[in-house]
Structure 1
Amino acid sequence: MKRQLKMIAIAILVMVFVYYLSQFKTPDESVLLDEYLEQETKEVDEIVPEEIQEPIYYLVDVKGQVTQPGVYEVESTLRIHEVIRLAGGFLETANVEAMNLAQKIKDEMVIYVPHLDDEIPTDVEQTWSETNETNSKVSLNDATEAELQTLPGIGPSKAAAIVNYREESGSFQSIDELVNVSGIGEKTLEKLREYIEL
């Protein structure tokens, strides 16, 4: 009987000891859990917000009947009428009806604002508001000064020089002959090749 009581007492002591150990570990585990959660929260707070995407900029060449013609660096989301506003707006001599002012801009685009006296082709949108990326090319022998100015790198003075050369020397016999025009060199010619024809 005494032996059984001893065994029971030992069993009770073991259970009390195990219970005590479990109670002793719980606070440590709780502290570790709290520290872990605190660290996770801190890391979440320190996460750098996603960078805002930088706007894309295009270079466009504004020519013709505007207050301040020139090359402008503008956001790619702009429309032609917004670029014209940046260029100071239209002159009184501008033929606004000949343009598609709602058209989206493109990089390296030439925006030519025609004069009221300029002869406007039927296809207004493609001829007057875009670069010469369309299938139609500018004819060296037939183009007006206004049409020549839609070519990249050709301003009023070079357009006039091309027309003067044509009047004095006759029609161009080859595209390479363009280097004989004052102010036009080999580099300019290479830039123009894909946009011109005889």
Structure 2
Amino acid sequence: MEKLKRHMNWIIGGGILLILAIIVSLFNYFQSEPNMPITSQIPIQMESESPIHTDKPKRKKEDKIQKEAEIMVDVQGSVKRPGVYELKEGDRVLDAIQMAGGFKDGAEVRSVNQALKISDEMIVYVAEKGEKYELQPASSNPVEENSTLVNINSADETVLQTLNGVGPAKAQSIISYREENGPFTSLEQLLEVRGIGEKTIEKWKDQIRFD
């Protein structure tokens, strides 16, 4: 009888321990369950951050457009600081002259069309008072802007020096040649001037005119 009671106590005790183990297991399971939605929130967070990455290519594109809009203009003649200046598309001749320090006291203001829109590689030449000049046309198309081309038959020493590779000595040689032989009629004829070669006139073919 004693042995039976002892066995019953062991069985009851084992059952109680088993029930407690099940309860603890269930408790731990339900405790960990609220954390499960966290993993599902990760993609949502990543999606909210995605516009930051897509904004970078747009910013680079805008910077590229802005860079392409910058143009170079050569300002020469009767201005305070002659030289090549960087401007932006849509700027006018007036803006280029202001960047060059403005007109000198002896400048012929009427020699340039200050309202003309500038173009890349354009030459703005401001004549002095008493100097012959041709007013730049209203069009800003480089093909139509004959006044931006140097007239090799009438340009003085200062204007001739705006051509690539021309210094005071070479400019004087050009003037001396045309005074002795008459006006130039072709690029090839310029080869007869001392110091001018084929490479030079190749550079000048889009910079000079003969009328």
> Are the counterparts in 2 of residues 109 and 131 from structure 1 also a CA contact under 8 Å?
no
> Are the counterparts in 1 of residues 77 and 158 from structure 2 also a CA contact under 8 Å?
no
- Residues 184 and 132 (structure 1 numbering): CA distance in 2 closer, same or farther, change over 3 Å? farther
- Residues 111 and 103 (structure 1 numbering): CA distance in 2 closer, same or farther, change over 3 Å? same
Q: Residue 146 of structure 1: CA displacement?
A: 7.3
TM-score by length of 2: 0.62
Deviations 1:82-117 (A, max 9, x none): 211221221111111232212221111111001111
Taking the aligned partners of 1:95 and 1:147, their CA distance within structure 2 comes to: 15
Taking the aligned partners of 2:91 and 2:97, their CA distance within structure 1 comes to: 10
Q: Which segment is superposed worse, 90-99 or 153-162?
A: 153-162
Question: Which one of 120, 144, 149 corresponds to residue 107 of structure 1?
Answer: 120
Deviations 1:133-165 (A, max 9, x none): 337576544x24279549743767344432221
> Which structure 2 residues correspond to residues 44-193 of structure 1 after superposition, within 5 A?
44-49=51-56, 50-51=58-59, 52-53=62-63, 54-56=66-68, 57-121=70-134, 124-126=135-137, 133-134=143-144, 136=146, 140-141=152-153, 143-145=154-156, 149=160, 152-153=163-164, 157=168, 158-172=170-184, 174-193=186-205
Aligned-pair Cα RMSD in Å = 3.6
Secondary structure of 1:100's aligned partner: coil
Give the gaps of 5 or more residues in structure 2.
1-29
Amino acid corresponding to residue 176 of structure 1 in structure 2: E
Taking the aligned partners of 1:191 and 1:60, their CA distance within structure 2 comes to: 17
Taking the aligned partners of 2:34 and 2:43, their CA distance within structure 1 comes to: 14
> Are the counterparts in 1 of residues 73 and 85 from structure 2 also a CA contact under 8 Å?
yes
Give the gaps of 5 or more residues in structure 1.
1-23
- Residues 155 and 166 (structure 1 numbering): CA distance in 2 closer, same or farther, change over 3 Å? same
User: More helix per residue: 1 or 2?
Assistant: 2
Taking the aligned partners of 1:182 and 1:70, their CA distance within structure 2 comes to: 27
Aligned-residue sequence identity (percent) comes to 31
Q: Residue 181 of structure 1: CA displacement?
A: 2.4
TM-score by length of 1: 0.65
- Residues 74 and 27 (structure 1 numbering): CA distance in 2 closer, same or farther, change over 3 Å? same
